[in-house]
Structure 1
Amino acid sequence: MTRCINLKIWLLNLIIFTIFAITYGGRLNQNPEFKVRAVNLGGWLVTEGWMKPSLFDGIPNKDFLDGTGLQFKSVTTGKYLCAESGGGTILVANRTTASGWETFKLWRINEATFRLRVFNKQFVGLDGIKVVATSSNTSKTFHIIKENDNSTRVRIKAFNGQFIQAKTEELVTADVSEVNGWEDDDPTVFEMTISSRLQGEFQVTNGYGPIKAPQVMKEHWSTFIVEDDFNFIATNGLNAVRIPVGWWIASDPTPPWPYVGGSLHALDNAFLWAQKYGLKIIVDLHAAPGSQNGFQHSSSRDGSQEWGKSDESIQQTVNIIDFLSARYARSPSLHAIELINEPLSPGVTLESLNKYYKAGYEAVRKHSSTAYVVLSNRLASSDPKELFPVANGFIRSVIDVHYYNIFDDAFENMSAQQNIDFIYTNRSSELNYITTSNGPLTFVGEWVADWRVKNATKEDFQRFAKAQIDVFGRSTFGWAYWAFKNANLRWSLEWMIKNGYVNL
């Protein structure tokens, strides 16, 4: 009976809320209580190795983490190993240059044992003694043996106990039981090149393993961001923090392998500190199940992007938003929940993203009528307004755009003044285009006072930072600098403020 009454009350509230949204939705999206002037607490609860390289220092054989891209050049054929057709058939050793088909992604089992994944996502295995890439079976493992720690020469030992050799350019087999030396006429010897690396949450936790990883991550979470940081943020012209979290946080304290428990406790602390120092929090789902963009900051295992390809992954993500909304809805510090960060087009379709955004919005609204719901634009999409049709149906909705003058090669030869002019003209125009009188609010969720300009002066950096604060301050929801702490000092707002580069 009680459950039935509660359901009726919930349905009545939903009907009232829906009528209210239809009548006043556009109006409620305007004039938020205050403009967000925030900083991202990146690299804290979702690992990004470039932000704190020392976090990876203690991993044994840390060159061989999950997702590392390896290319192998036979010393006898002088050509690269290749998964013919990108996978689905044999391996050959006949390519003069290396690209996608010639790159093998590691799946790390332990510091000495690996699976090898090819371009089309099959795994390397054996057909008799022939080396093939035809299987989705992940049980076949290999050892990669270096000549020494400083050498690029390696051998690959297959699960049958035999070494792989490039017998000819067209025939690669695993049938050598004994090896000696590392001579140029030895077909089991390969020159190895590391073509790419990932240093995200998956890599750090699986790299350290189930015994060491909990210790390392607990130390990181308790020291990278502390209460004093919130005090510093609140007393230096900021009023909010955007906190990236990973999908595994909803399973704390026993998240799925290889993740470890403890990030939820850290987030709880953040809410306590935010309330104490009068800050608002934007909880940002930065890493979704299966990875929404294949980058390390979405905790991709090997650069693959699997999120949104099934209803199961979407529903799992909705459940995570429901968990976060239920846990923090009553906190006076909760300002917004960002449903997902930087989904990448075309791997994430607009259809699947809109389906998720509708369900994620309802999950937030089930627990809070006041929290803003932030929708992140798709990276690589040509239409910055593509989310407007779905966002216009929501109240207190926000569109998140990220503006960086550093990643695009178009900025390579720009001077300091040209970069500053680009902010006042191009960025201003882009922001104006997505800022409408009755549409969703606009949020520059990530920006940084760094660029490709060489030999820039301190005054140049100051003017560049001021230009972005001026322009991004016109967004109707606000902005958030990336990030508060970073080993790359221009990306650390704490360092930039302390050293006079940014004045808020």
Structure 2
Amino acid sequence: MFQQYNRLPVATSRSPEDEPFSPPARDYALPEAEPFQSHDDLSAGASRPRFMGAALGNDPSRHSFTSHTSEPATMVEDYDHVPNKETSFYALNNYQDDPQDSDYNASQRTFGTKASPTVRGTPYLEGKRSTYASPRSRSKRKAIIIGGLAALVAVIVAVIIAVYFAVVKPHSSNDSDSASGATKGGSNSSGSASSPSPTGGAAQNLAVTGGDGSTVTMEDGTTFIYRNPFGGTWYYDPKDPFNNAAQAQSWTPALNQTFNYGVDQIRGVNLGGWLVTEPFIVPALYEKYVNTSTPAVDEWTLSQAMANDTASGGLQQLEDHYKTFVTEQDFAEIAGAGLNWVRIPLPYWAIEVREGEPFLPQVSWQYFLKAIQWARKYGIRINLDFHALPGSQNGWNHSGRLGSVNVLNGPMGIANAQRSLDYIRIIAEFISQPEYKDVVAMFGVTNEPQGNMVGQEALASYYLQAYNNVRGASGTGIGNGPFISFHDGFIGLAGWAGFFPGSDRTSLDIHPYICFDGQSSAPYSSLLTVPCSTWASNQNNSMSAFGLSTAGEFSNAINDCGLWVNGVNLGARYDGTYSGGGTWPFVGECAPWTDWPSWNQSMKADIQQFSLASMDALQNWFFWTWKIGNSSVTGKVESPAWSYQLGLQQGWMPTDPRQAAGICDPTAVFTPPLQSWQTGGAGAGQIPASFSSSFSWPPATISNAGAATLLPTYTQTGTVPTLAAPTLSASVSVNVGDGWNNASDTASMFVPVATCSYLNPWCGEVPPPSPLCSAPAKRADQLAAPTITATP
């Protein structure tokens, strides 16, 4: 049973800026810092729960998991036992985004190749207002009309003023920001949107910017009404497509302004299940193929099933999903919800696939380009999360293939890491270009690697090489490429204190969940202090001991109820149906936790208070996830605690996330700013040689494989694929970039040695081939059924 807690008072309607912070100290341990529990009790083929780390309950540790798989360029054919084959006119009227703040005025390409290329929020708002005053000056345009009626004069003047402020002034203001052949402005605004309506023909003289209540015209000519009560403004001019003048909210710096990390608060949401599918997020995709001889349990098996289903469109069904699951209106709604960042999972097959890998290649990248355009239009920054690596970094379904861990683990651990580092370099070269760097402002280089399995030394070595690849593409210092985000590998924030000293703009990422392992029937009302007591002090400490520390994922779930939350057809611990291993006694029926249409206002208020406490404790965060798709069987969302959008629609998510400020008071809080080098200032990028030499690449040994020198590796002789830029209208002549920011980076791609034998990249912990290099390389046609690798 969970410990019983006194319920926090439900937040009042006061502005979070009304009272200063005076928080006390916390000394509770972060679950993620707890030891990682073994899973050798899982049955063969069982999907691990998606998430890891300790949970509440009598057991201080908790499991988590979910997985992926794919094949190499060449493999030894006799390894039959290897796993699975298969934009503001508000100032005119002294608009205030906070009605209780009397002092604040809101006015304020196709794929090519490259071969040898020649806070915490409210406590700091006063400081931020002075730093981020609106750059737009407000002037009145007078028109003198001789003759005519007075009424006609008034009408003409009104029209002139409206056109000036809606089109002419924003455009001219943003023109001043152009540089290096590409304008750098931003559209930082958004809002809830009404259903789109057709324009009825070719649009002429369309507005290029607007705020709350304005009409937005999308690429296909349909329109919707932009809803943003927070002073946000959108901006998009087809003739100036890289303008960064938009602003998500009045308190968030526009994309053409500096985001002050450690002072400006990251309030974000994930776009999970979009470009990397996940069964519990998009169940309808999987339900179609779940009752087959080889059920779809991950994107690998889903892709195979779709490819065989030519009558339904084959693998192209995935593009239909990309087109519809997340659209421009979602970005507008996200900004209108008071959110200023999105974290977007991206798989390696957005770049390429190799022999035997069934994924739809490169197409998801085209939709990530759309995400950049939409984020730019509404002033939202992107955290690109490299979510699925070749061979799988964690063996869970959201890595692409359910099965074994093959990055930094097992005989293909080095080769798969080499390939992954190349993909990190390719992505970094693209997003570091002037046209994209202000939108894609953070890069999570690897999602949820199993640090306790591969070892922190090996993981740190890999991370340092990833850091070098990103900074090699972007350079160091403010404005040069993205912030780099390292997942803690479930080792815990405290375990990374002091790592990467002098590194330029690096951050730690944790994924705190309390819904796995120990289960309890305790209601939300008894768990409202859990986020504050469990997470807050660790976040504060890490902001000082390491630097920027964010929660890349968290949710409102307090148990594991929900369709396929643990994996396809694995059941739930809560109701005793979990078949992934272990003994789980019946706690209660899951129906009350998933039947959201029956939730009363009291329960919704408790969930909202829980989410606010989580936001305040975590300080800089990304909720998992923006939306959960409907089940094709029941026609509704079956995992409601995980959907931010549904929570907004139904009333259990806060319409203004700033209400979170002070929920965890009194408690000790991080005092900004971050150290200068942590944000790209003096000393940034000067990592001591002694540290670098201690974590040189590659590591000396690989877990479950032995000495790195005895393992298969790739060679740098391949042609580097370059990520494509967006295709613009033929009438627009602007620089879209060539996909490669640093022309002096001419290193080739890691590819198999022609005369070497390799295991399948997804082989698991099997003996390496001997000898490593022989006559022509051979390949296995089949892979055995996937098994779950027990965690150390």
Question: TM-score if structure 2 supplies the norm length?
Answer: 0.40
| CA gap 1:338/1:360 in 2 versus in 1, 3 angstroms | same
Name the CA shift for 1:60/1:491 in 2 (closer, same or farther; >3 Å): closer
Aligned position for 1:375: 486
CA distance in 2, matches of 1:404, 1:346: 18
**Does the Cα contact within 8 Å between 1:291 and 1:306 map onto a contact in 2?**
yes
Report the Cα distance in structure 2 between the residues aligned to 1:420 and 1:431, rounded to whole angstroms: 18
Deviations 1:18-67 (A, max 9, x none): xxxxxxxxxx998447321111000011110111111023338535237x
Name the SS of the counterpart of 2:499 in structure 1.
Answer: helix
* 1:34-433 equivalences in 2 (<5 Å): 34-59=264-289, 61-62=291-292, 64-65=294-295, 199-209=297-307, 211=310, 212-251=313-352, 257-261=357-361, 262-301=363-402, 303-309=403-409, 310-330=413-433, 331=436, 332-368=438-474, 369-379=480-490, 381=491, 383-409=492-518, 411-433=519-541
Query: Is the CA contact 2:390–2:416 (under 8 Å) kept in the aligned structure 1?
Result: yes
- Determine which of 652, 656, 660 is the counterpart of 1:501: 652
SS of the aligned residue for 1:347 comes to helix
- Alignment match, 1:441: 548
Deviation per CA, 1:294-333: give whole Å up to 9, x if none: 11011124x2111113322111111111111112223120
> C-alpha offsets along residues 442-491 of structure 1, whole Å, 9 cap, x if unaligned?
10111112213967711211111111122122xxxx10000011132221
Q: In structure 1, give the amino acid aligned to 2:264.
A: F
Alpha-carbon separation, structure 1, partners of 2:499 and 2:449: 16
Contact 2:431–2:481 (CA<8 Å) still a contact in 1? no
Q: Which structure ranks higher in relative contact order (CA pairs < 8 Å, sequence separation ≥ 6)? A: 2
SS in 2 for 1:435: helix
**In the alignment, is the contact (CA less than 8 A) between 1:398 and 1:441 conserved in 2?**
yes
Residue 472, structure 1, aligned to residue 618, structure 2: yes
User: Which residue pairs with 2:606 in the alignment?
Assistant: 460
Q: 1:413 to 1:251 in 2, by over 3 A?
A: same
Q: 1:255 to 1:448 in 2, by over 3 A?
A: farther
2:499–2:546 contact (8 Å) kept in structure 1:
no
Aligned to 2:623, the other structure's residue is in SS state strand
8 Å Cα contact 1:292/1:348 also seen in 2 = no
Q: Report how far residue 246 of structure 1 moved.
A: 1.0
Which residue in 1 is equivalent to 2:627? Answer: 485
Greater helix fraction, Structure 1 or Structure 2: 1
Identity %: 27
User: What SS does the corresponding residue of 2:495 show, helix, strand or coil?
Assistant: coil
For residues 29 and 362 of structure 1, the distance between their equivalents in structure 2, rounded to whole angstroms, comes to 23
CA RMSD of aligned residues (A): 2.8
Change (3 A) 1:29 1:483: closer
Cα gap change, 1:431 to 1:396, in 2 (>3 Å):
same
Provide the secondary structure at the position in 2 that maps to 1:440.
coil
Write the distance in 2 (CA, Å) between the matches of 1:32 and 1:433.
Answer: 13
1:60–1:494 Cα change, 3 Å: closer
Give the residue type in structure 1 aligned to 2:546.
G
Q: Distance in 2 between the 1:440 and 1:423 partners?
A: 21
In 1, Cα distance between the equivalents of 2:384 and 2:356?
A: 21
Cα displacement string for residues 400-438 of structure 1 (whole angstroms, at most 9, x for unaligned residues): 0111121131x52444233212112122233234231x6
Give, as a single letter, the amino acid of the residue that structure 2 aligns with 1:462: Q
Indicate how the Cα distance of structure 1 residues 345 and 359 shifts in structure 2: closer, same or farther if over 3 A, else same.
Answer: closer
TM-superposed CA distance for 1:355, in Å, is 1.5
Q: 3-state DSSP class of the match of 2:647?
A: helix
Does the CA-based 8 Å contact 1:60-1:207 persist in structure 2? no
User: Which residue number corresponds to residue 194 of structure 1?
Assistant: none
Aligned residue type for 2:422: N
Aligned residues: 339
- Tell me the distance in 2 between the aligned counterparts of 1:46 and 1:214: 14
Unaligned stretches of 5+ in structure 1? 7-27, 67-198
8 Å Cα contact 1:337/1:372 also seen in 2: yes
The CA distance in 2 between the partners of 1:242 and 1:227, in whole Å, is: 15
Letter of the 2:487 partner, please give it. Answer: S
Letter of the structure 1 residue corresponding to residue 379 of structure 2: G
CA distance in 2, matches of 1:346, 1:467: 29
Question: CA–CA distance in 2 between the matches of 1:233 and 1:466?
Answer: 17
- 2:331/2:375 contact within 8 Å kept: yes
Query: Partners in 1 of 2:533 and 2:321 — Cα distance?
Result: 41
Higher strand share: 1
Contact 1:391 1:440 in 2 (8 A): no
What is the alpha-carbon distance in structure 2 between the residues aligned to residue 492 and residue 29 of structure 1? 27
Q: How far did 1:393 drift? A: 4.0
- Whether the 8 Å CA contact 2:508–2:549 is kept in 1: the answer is yes
- The residue aligned with 1:102 is none
C-alpha spacing 1:63/1:35, structure 2 compared with 1 (3 Å): farther
In structure 2, distance between residues paired with 1:387 and 1:250: 31
Q: Which runs of 5+ in 2 are unaligned?
A: 1-114, 119-257, 475-479, 560-589, 594-598, 629-636, 657-792
Q: What TM-score comes out, normalization by structure 1 length? A: 0.62
SS at match of 2:391: coil
The alpha-carbon deviation at position 214 of structure 1 amounts to 2.4
CA distance, structure 1, for counterparts of residue 643 and residue 466 of structure 2 = 31
Say whether the 8 Å CA contact 2:493–2:508 is kept in structure 1: no
Structure 2 CA distance for partners of 1:57 and 1:422, relative to 1, 3 Å:
closer
CA offset at residue 440 of structure 1?
2.1
